[in-house]
Chains A and B, each alone.
Chain A
């Protein structure tokens, strides 16, 4: 017999020779057996045994055959526990694979043949050529015994071959029943042996995830679902929906309702949400669900099927309506001790810039006062007090009236509306503060008061519908600024509500030939917000008609971009549903056609991570256009919108945007900073920060402006010292350029938004869910920033208030069973990706222990540091209800 050709030991040839020389001298017994010189005594015995078995298998006597097969099987089974190297029995049997295979052919069908098939199937694991799938072939004709007994590696190999075979048979439309039987066995084996990920992979390959439901149990369903949900991000539609469906069902099966609700919200499936409520019987848990829905920002009505008791239902509806948000936010603020109101000067920190900043500011600059108004509004958002607008008005000097009048014309609109921002979420006091401006005889002030009402009610629902009641009468007023104030207010306060009453009021404006363009533009935006992601046909029709009615000149106006945007928002994240409308948009005037096309595409695939759409958009950006075409701006924004959903996509997108900065035309370069701002919103990544800092000194002032705004966006609500420092330096660098300085001020306001307690990120619940209204708000602002001069630097600066839709406290607030704040120790640290990891890995790293309420930065996760309480939701963000742990023992 020739020496075994072990591929594993080719490299060790020289060493082996050395050993060969020594061994014989020490052990004279082995002198003759030159070929087996490197084997130990045991191995030699094993080898000889196996060779004997191989001979015996070919023996005509079935008894002997059977005994030999049995023994062979014993040897193999005893050894295949680990596959770090080829097991000895397999190694020794390799030379005989051919012989055995040939013999197998000649055998008549019998149990023995099946036995031999089993063994050949295992041998094929190392021997079979690529693509032959012999292991599977022999398996299928072998005994249907326990496959697990051959070891993990065998099963894994088999699973791989099944996947290949499956695709082959699918294309041939052959039967797959025998395969599926095997799949059953493999899945069962994997699920029992902590290999959920492999089971899921196999089932995805053979497109039969339903099988999972039979095999999950209490110990492994969490890991399984975890893997399913994170895999969904990388699957093409409609597979991703299927995967999420399954994980929803698994969660429901094991009564893990909060997770089930999360997936229901992700799927935007109201039926599922209802099911969660009807299946769950615990009122306290339902309260927790309501908090989760409230954070997601969708409008949701509870009915008696979900909650039987009237009082309970009212209490739950209150939570869904976000009426307690202001209270919770203020609790957080008091705990962190940031209640003291801040002035814009506290934010500018001009004293840190040695004498270069303010030079002879003896006269008020309207632009700078307007900037201060915004900074004041953003910084003191939701705190209910500030030092410009809410100071008692009886004092003759420096009263609120005076600051209002320190703004010029349309600036007064933003100033009056800023009161709404300061009173954010506190409808009762907000409305009473705004009341006095309703009686003004100055149109911009009334417009501001109307917009303020909308802002105060942002995300808050109320049975009395105060916003509709107050604003409804103003949308048909004479003055267009008042109309815009009312329309925009409605859009902000009823975003996502799909309120038909408002649609009936706003739709006629769109098709009113006499209405000015700006009113139409804002009406379209507001309708887009109210019906965000609804694919509502009628609204789409109205906007399409409005677009078709525009004259050539009007289509060139900067505000016209809000019409396609309003249309796009209707399909936000709804993927294919946009196609019919996209087809219609092809008939538009060529001035707006491509802009519309890009906007629709980017909105429809926002947050999906769809690689094909990213490529489409990239192709659009690759073209070098003649002057005048503006559609590449939304295409660049679209790239960010599509890719923003998960970390990998974000990183890839940041890299490709860098490329575009180098090769793109000017209109692309202007949009790139905004796209970066969207990708890292409220998440100041250092690399992005540096890129934006570089761009903020760009020779093209529009690139610089968007980079500055984006610096504000990525640092929004973080109080990031580095960005604050950059902006401070920019404020002295651009102290002469009023427009750029205005942008710097706005960015400063954003960075210190809510004194660092807020976030603009539309993602929540560990970056899993995307709040559509929040995204709508941000995207609207970004589209406005594509052409700063006529909009934000012009008289429509109040579009900045659209950001309010995305503003949320970045807190974790624990409450007891009576929903009263409860302080418990929690660990807060960097979140660790634990998907597909075995055991119970740590979910956070580098943590610090605080007591609630705490702030959570981007990429951070919290966990309770005490066993005394049990949180009712596994995702510790926002409001968390704690239940006392009955098993807790004081130590």
Chain B
């Protein structure tokens, strides 16, 4: 008969008697009484070994008063959950892309950053993407071969970008683009030359507007035009003859002219909509100076503004750049650039928008008043405001009747860094649906802060905005 003490967790069971004639299992049963740990879960440590159920006490060399240690719990054994978690590493690439929250970058194929940044800006327009996916792969007669190929290549590129996490090399697209517009294939010292992103942008939109015109002729003849195009009402006025004429013109973008007085996008736009030109006056019978004033007659879903930063410098024979700082807002209101008719149309939606915003600001106050005064109208308005709020950020098509408000939100910026249009570096900065800004610098993508986007306004050698794209804030009535 031996007496030992057993340490278990923080407790010590003193003076336990071991009947050495019985197998150790009996001892374990004793411990079960004390600790509640079932014998099969008990691990009793005796000098660097475990006590086996069938061990012989005499061989263990136990001494009276020896301390033993027991390990074991009556806890439940950990079981693996039925369904293990899904790890990002196990997902196919496209799903990883979806989790990333934004699409991949584009590899620079040798001075193709102008093309990469242009395409990154365009891909951020979901409507364009859906139009492209509806585009038939078979060519119709009305589209020339190269335009068709370019459109298909664009579609392929967009879908590829959506799927992948790693940067995509836009080789097929690049080949087709060169075929369609040979000026982009110009070589200099055996390398492709840097090109003007604005030219690429304009040509791409032109091609797409040509090829996407046809499939759904019934509703909207030109999808691209509906998205990007705006009508200008030009009024020509000759001061000498007091002649007046007006015409409408359809353009894809507004120009922001930069002169010494221009400090802000708004001023530049105004400046760009006013001009003088010489033309033969029918009444005077000679050329006279006409003042041309333009007003916006219809608003696009996406308003593109080009900063006219480059001008042809005859002395140096190249496109020189104006580095002047021109601020642009995250939220642009072009109400005062609109024609009378359009302004009238905009009145009601704008009022509504103001109401909603006012309500949002004074949300608590209105909630109080509605609870007190049982104001059914008010709650109605609130309900609709929520709806419209969603529809304006989400899918516009679903809203009952989305109306333009003349207010636009900045969605993408194409910047240029360098001193002339044919050199330097183009980068795209695009706002994601999540509200985060992403910088697409060829293959590299990185998250940016909203504040930093407005800082791309020029005035130094840092990236400065060249083309900005605004998205209309819509409201359902």
Chain A residues with CB under 8 Å of chain B are: 354-356, 359-367, 369, 393, 400-402, 404-406, 408, 428-429, 431-432, 435-437, 439-440, 442, 445, 462-466, 468-470, 472-473, 501, 735-736, 738
Contacts and interface: CB of A to CB of B under 8 A. Distances in A.
Given A466-B71, A468-B49, 12 more contacts: A355-B436, A359-B101, A359-B436, A360-B434, A406-B85, A429-B10, A435-B43, A435-B72, A436-B73, A463-B67, A469-B45, A472-B48
B173 to A, nearest CB: 24
Contacts of B365: none
A499 B463 CA distance: 67
27 contacts: A354-B449, A355-B436, A359-B101, A359-B436, A363-B88, A367-B89, A369-B87, A393-B78, A400-B78, A401-B78, A401-B81, A404-B78, A405-B84, A406-B85, A428-B10, A432-B71, A435-B41, A435-B43, A436-B77, A464-B47, A465-B45, A468-B48, A469-B46, A469-B48, A469-B49, A501-B48, A736-B445
A464 B72 contact: no
Closest 6 pairs between A and B when the two form their complex, measured CB to CB: A465-B48, A360-B101, A464-B69, A469-B45, A366-B87, A464-B45
Interface centre among B43, B69, B99 (most CB of A within 10 A): B69
Contact of A359 (B7, B81, B100): B100
A393 B73 CA distance: 14
A464 B446 CA distance: 57
A192 B174 CA distance: 92
Interface of B: 7-10, 41, 43, 45-50, 67-69, 71-73, 75-81, 84-91, 99-102, 434, 436, 445-449
Contacts of B85: 364, 405-406
Contacts of A462: 69
Nearest to B79: A401
A472 B89 CA distance: 36
Given A364-B87, A469-B46, A472-B49, A359 B80 contact: no
B81 A356 contact: no
A360 B101 CA distance: 6
A439 B81 CA distance: 16
B67 A432 contact: no
A455 to B, nearest CB: 15
Contacts of A463: 47, 67
Contacts of B41: 435, 439
Contact of B7 (A362, A366, A428, A437): A428
A738 B46 CA distance: 46
A576 B47 CA distance: 37
A436 B434 contact: no
Contact of A365 (B78, B88, B445): B88
Nearest to B449: A354
B45 A393 contact: no
B9 A428 contact: yes
A30 to B, nearest CB: 82
B59 to A, nearest CB: 16
A417 to B, nearest CB: 14
A469 B42 CA distance: 13
A381 B225 CA distance: 64
Contacts of B48: 464-465, 468-469, 472, 501
Nearest to A357: B447
Given A393-B78, A408-B87, A439-B77, A356 B69 contact: no
Contacts of A356: 447-449
Nearest to A466: B45
Contacts of B434: 359-360
B99 A393 contact: no
Nearest to B71: A431
B50 A469 contact: yes
A402 B80 CA distance: 8
Contacts of A431: 71
A246 B50 CA distance: 48
Contact of B88 (A354, A366, A436): A366
A435 B75 contact: yes
Residue among B68, B101, B436, B447 facing the most chain A CB atoms (10 A cut-off): B447
A360 B99 contact: yes
A412 to B, nearest CB: 9
